[in-house]
Amino acid sequence: MNGATRLVFATRNAHKLREVATILAETIGAVGDAIVGSDAVGGPEVTETGVTFDENALLKARALAQVSGLPAIADDSGLCVEVLGGAPGVFSARWAGGHGDDAANLALLLDQLRDVPADRRRAWFECAAVLVTPAGETWVETGRLTGTLAASPRGTGGFGYDPILVPDGERRTCAQLTPAEKNAISHRGRAFRSLAPRIAAALGRG
Residues with a catalytic annotation lie at 76
Residue 164, amino acid:
I
Residue 96, amino acid:
A
Residue 9, classed as helix, strand or coil, is: strand
Give me the count of residues in the chain. Answer: 206
Q: Kindly report the number of other CB atoms within 10 A of residue 88's CB atom.
A: 21
* 79 CB-contact burial (10 Å; exposed 0-12 / middle 13-18 / buried 19+): buried
Q: Note whether 191 and 128 are within 8 A (CB).
A: yes
